[in-house]
Chains A and B, each alone.
Chain A
Amino acid sequence: MTFGFKDKKPSRRQFLSGAAAVGAGAVAAGAARAAGPDPLITEVQDWASITGEGVDATPYGLPIKYEADVVRRNVPWLTADPISSINFTPIHALDGTITPQGCAFERHHSGAIEMRKRDYRLMINGLVDTPLVFTYEDLERFPRENHVYFCECAANTGMEWAGAQLNGAQFTHGMIHNMEYSGVTLRTLLEEAGLDAAGDLKDKWVYVEGADASSNGRSIPMEKALDDCLVAFKANGEALRKEHGYPVRLCVPGWEGNMWVKWLRRIEVTDQAVQSREETSKYTDTLADGTSRKWTWAMDAKSIVTSPSPQSPIKHGHGPLVITGLAWSGRGAIKRVDVSRDGGKTWETARLAAPGEKMALTRFYLDTEWNGEEMLLQSRAMDETGYVQPTKTQLREVRGENSIYHNNCIQTWWVQPNGEAENVEVS
């Protein structure tokens, strides 16, 4: 296998000849007239003759082998070790808004651990009336809620601060997933322990901690803890996968993924932020003058065209084209998404597959026509607070280039006449 960008640098000329080939293919595949009868129709195929697998063949199914390329991928040079690392959701190949658990990105600080439900304990301590210990069974006896939330790593798109780096929506924007969670509100559990001991709740915090070897812990202001945080044990209807915190994780809707503590084992009510490693040395944002922002919890409104994109080029001929992507905001529901085909000179409003929901992914479509012209494809999200997704230039004007986290800039794909797309930056 010798193909790849390095030894086969695409040239202008190739784009042109490629375009011609696409054009020819378009005629052949066009609706007008087939060259001859399609053997897939005229000949009896095996699957139309021989039987398939029985119902006892696959007690728990995986995607069909033809979808073997729709998988999480990681970028080895990003981290020292895959145990404390991240991989990316194949958003370029998915549609709708729900991310299947099996390909939803993973981020561990000390690897994905395996814990039985019967070994699970959740402690609430600190400024509560009665420090409590819950078993997994206890949690299932509290009133339950269901919510769809996106979980985005604060570092999503972080490699793109200094310039266009990775060729694929999976790599630039794949540190995100969106699932329907079932669980108990954090508020319910805190009230079970009693908050009278905490006194005035306004300046109180909740420190949450995981059971894995990283002891990942974050401080959450009480206001947020009582508002919408969810102690979840099911995702998309089934138990959490181990890589997502089985048996219990925390959801902190709209806020950076690092706070969504997995294997949640302890909830401590405190009168100050603990200032753990993950809220001081990491997940803080250094500005151009060297000062750093802390407690940048909310994920700003953001969107990405998932197709066409570098890993999902246009493979059909000229004519109808569906441009699609995802939009989300940690401050509320997505209100509108605009798409530009000329690098931001002109914009047209895309169609939302469904009205935006708070702290959840929204799918957008632009049903359009493409005739082989180059496109500088962008999308721009707007949320219900009136926030408009900024350009990379606008972000750099405020934040400089030394940030790692919270890069929610408008992304550009350069779609070429042959339908291939590349990650670029534009003026």
Chain B
Amino acid sequence: MSKYRKLIATTALAATLTAGPALAEKLGLGRPALPEEIAAWNLDVSPDGTGLPEGSGSVEDGEALFVDYCAVCHGDFAEGVGNWPKLAGGEGTLADKDPLKTVGSYWPYLSTTWDYVHRSMPFGNAQTLTPDEVYAVVAYILYSNYIVEDDFVLSKENFLDVEMPNADGFIVDDRETAEAHFWQDEPCMENCKETVEITMEAAVLDVTPEETKARKVQEMIDATNPANKPAEAKVEEAAVAAEPAAEEPAATAPAAEEAAALDPELVKAGEKVFKKCKACHQVGEGAKNRTGPVLTGIVGHAAGAAEDFRYSKPMEKAGEEGLIWSEDELHAFLAKPKAYMKKTKMSFAGLKKDDDIAAVIAYLKSFE
């Protein structure tokens, strides 16, 4: 810490010399926080259990909750889906190339898991689990990491008894000692090495996003820079070039024709509304199931029918019983999803305005 402390001392000194306002006595601004307000927000839980509410939950209950609320991203066994975080496994891999860091293999404190599930999960529907439910989900995550048995019940009382496998795996920042040799007063300026070879090229891996590759960007710069145009070129031409998105690729043309009957203004408005849905749903070409199912072609099609998507039981049942997402049905669902279908997985509260619902349905109809 020596260098850092020295620096603090000098900054503090400098601060008194520059234009910072003089520290005055209290200004009497703000108002005292009420106990209920503090209770509502002061939810963080520390490693020693400070902040844990009363409650308990079993692995068994946790499994059911996990399947309903978490598995869509984290997998039934907390093994992770796609790029979403894996919560289990990876024990003993931390020194390997590409270690697998999970609650079991990496997280040093159980309090962190409880706190995070309680305040930040489920994604898109945070702060909706009760303390008992959080205890249960955490118990299940422990179970999926073989840290507890299947009959385990996690509670405030036994919370600190759980031993996290990587509890001793951390050291406090030691850069100023372990990397002390990076502090050198006069670095080398000449003949610093004998030879220089290129050992790796980014172009070989080729993972730079396609649409933003250097060369493509360069084409765009060229196209939009009037200096690169023949002198006869008019401003409008440059304007067209500046908006390559305006030139739709041929593949989307049929869809555009089919959607011709739709009010383009309404579709546009719907696209805006759809931003609220985007956290969980994809639509259009290349759309994939995410937290929610693909919505391409949803209007007029059977409920619960997206391939490979695991629907809630009631949605699955509604599909089997022949529910078709007509505009009216969809309208009712989007107004209040949970009222329309109890226990649907869709955690969205609903669209308040009828206009928004009509717009988003028009937008969905524009994809076939």
- A residues with CB within 8 A of B: 1, 3-6, 8, 10, 38-40, 43, 46-47, 65-66, 68-69, 73-77, 79-84, 109-111, 123-126, 130-135, 138, 141-145, 163-168, 170-171, 185, 187-188, 191-192, 194, 207, 209, 213-215, 217, 223, 227-228, 265-266, 268, 270, 272-277, 280-281, 284, 286, 288-298, 300, 310-311, 313, 331-332, 338, 342-348, 358, 376, 380, 382, 384-388, 390, 394, 398, 401-402, 414, 420-427
Whether A346 contacts B189 by the Cβ 8 Å rule is yes
Whether A133 contacts B97 by the Cβ 8 Å rule is no
**Of B21, B195, B210, which is within 8 A of A145 by CB?**
B21
Q: How far is the CB of B71 from chain A (nearest CB, A)?
A: 14
Whether B279 contacts A422 by the Cβ 8 Å rule is no
What residues of B have a CB within 8 angstroms of the CB of A398 in the complex? Answer: 178-179
Instruction: Report the Cα distance A277→B219, complex, angstroms.
Output: 43
**Of A164, A185, A277, A421, which is within 8 A of B120 by CB?**
A277
Instruction: Report the Cα distance A39→B234, complex, angstroms.
Output: 13
**Of A43, A65, A77, which is within 8 A of B224 by CB?**
A65
Q: A4-B216, A214-B126, A425-B200 are in contact. Are A192 and B207 (CB under 8 A)?
A: no
The 7 closest A-B pairs by CB, nearest first: A143-B21, A290-B95, A343-B196, A290-B94, A80-B83, A423-B202, A39-B231
Instruction: Report the Cα distance A138→B32, complex, angstroms.
Output: 13
Q: How far is the CB of B74 from chain A (nearest CB, A)?
A: 11
Q: Mark B74-114, 1 if CB is under 8 A from A, else 0.
A: 00000000111100000000110111010100111101100
Whether B23 contacts A274 by the Cβ 8 Å rule is no
Instruction: Report the Cα distance A227→B178, complex, angstroms.
Output: 26
Instruction: Please report whether the interface of chain A is mostly helix, strand, loop or mixed according to DSSP.
Output: loop
What residues of B have a CB within 8 angstroms of the CB of A384 in the complex? Answer: 7
What residues of A have a CB within 8 angstroms of the CB of B199 in the complex? Answer: 424-427
Instruction: Report the Cα distance A386→B4, complex, angstroms.
Output: 12
Give the residues from 228 to 249 in chain B that come closer than 8 angstroms, CB to CB, to chain A: 231, 234-235, 238-239, 242-244
Instruction: Report the Cα distance A199→B349, complex, angstroms.
Output: 45
Q: A163-B205, A402-B97 are in contact. Are A265 and B41 (CB under 8 A)?
A: yes
Whether A123 contacts B47 by the Cβ 8 Å rule is no
Instruction: Report the Cα distance A185→B31, complex, angstroms.
Output: 19
**Of B83, B95, B187, B207, which is within 8 A of A380 by CB?**
B187
Q: A311-B214, A311-B218 are in contact. Are A123 and B33 (CB under 8 A)?
A: yes
Q: A130-B32, A292-B169 are in contact. Are A165 and B278 (CB under 8 A)?
A: no
Q: How far is the CB of B188 from chain A (nearest CB, A)?
A: 7
Whether A167 contacts B213 by the Cβ 8 Å rule is yes
Whether A274 contacts B207 by the Cβ 8 Å rule is no
**Of B47, B200, B217, which is within 8 A of A272 by CB?**
B47
What residues of A have a CB within 8 angstroms of the CB of B160 in the complex? Answer: none
Q: How far is the CB of B360 from chain A (nearest CB, A)?
A: 18
Q: How far is the CB of A215 from chain B (nearest CB, A)?
A: 4
Q: A40-B231, A83-B278, A167-B208 are in contact. Are A426 and B197 (CB under 8 A)?
A: yes
Whether A77 contacts B99 by the Cβ 8 Å rule is no
B161 CB within 8 Å of chain A: no
Q: A3-B215, A6-B206 are in contact. Are A281 and B112 (CB under 8 A)?
A: yes
Whether A427 contacts B195 by the Cβ 8 Å rule is yes
What residues of B have a CB within 8 angstroms of the CB of A192 in the complex? Answer: 26-27, 29-30
Most buried by A among B109, B169, B187, B202: B202
B53 CB within 8 Å of chain A: no
What residues of A have a CB within 8 angstroms of the CB of B124 in the complex? Answer: 83, 110, 213
Residue of B nearest to A172 (CB): B202
What residues of B have a CB within 8 angstroms of the CB of A66 in the complex? Answer: 224-226, 238, 242
Whether A358 contacts B11 by the Cβ 8 Å rule is yes
28 contacts between A and B (CB under 8 A): A1-B244, A3-B215, A5-B203, A5-B206, A65-B239, A75-B208, A125-B42, A133-B32, A138-B29, A145-B21, A166-B202, A166-B207, A171-B208, A213-B120, A214-B120, A215-B127, A266-B41, A276-B112, A276-B115, A277-B116, A286-B94, A291-B170, A311-B217, A345-B191, A345-B192, A345-B196, A382-B187, A402-B94
